[in-house]
Amino acid sequence: MPNPSIKDEKTYEEVRKSGASKEKAARVANAAANEGRSKVSRRGGKSSSYDDMTKSELYDRAKKVGVAGRSTMSKSQLVKALRNH
């Protein structure tokens, strides 16, 4: 059954199959529907590597995107949580 909050079901399913969370897949699919797939794909990949960030920077990024349990996570756990969010 189609989800009314997902604007591009095909893109959503492709992103989910690649291992992304439901929330991330919805963000990507809706951005692709609003702006066009080529514009969204060109925009990606400009963030610095999580491995190069300090634990404090990772914590701030996790707080910004709403990762639960971030205060008790190690640096490697924060990286994993951000990659899967």
**Backbone dihedral region for residue 45 (phi beyond 0: left; psi -120 to 50: alpha; all else: beta):** left
Mean per-residue pLDDT for 78-82?
91
Residue 36 sits in the same domain as residue 59: no
Task: Round to whole Å and give the CA distance between 85 and 74.
Answer: 16
Residue 38 sits in the same domain as residue 55: no
The better pLDDT of the pair 28, 71 is held by 71
Q: Does 37 score more than 70 pLDDT?
A: no
Q: Does 13 score more than 60 pLDDT?
A: yes
| Cβ neighbours of residue 81 closer than 8 Å, sequence gap 6 or more | 62, 67, 69, 70, 73
Domain count within the chain: 2
Within a domain: 69 = yes
- Whether the Cβ atoms of residue 12 and residue 32 lie closer than 8 Å to each other: no
Closest CA to 73 of 61, 57, 85, 55: 55
Q: Calculate what percentage of the chain has a pLDDT beyond 70.
A: 79
Domain ranges, residue 13: 9-43
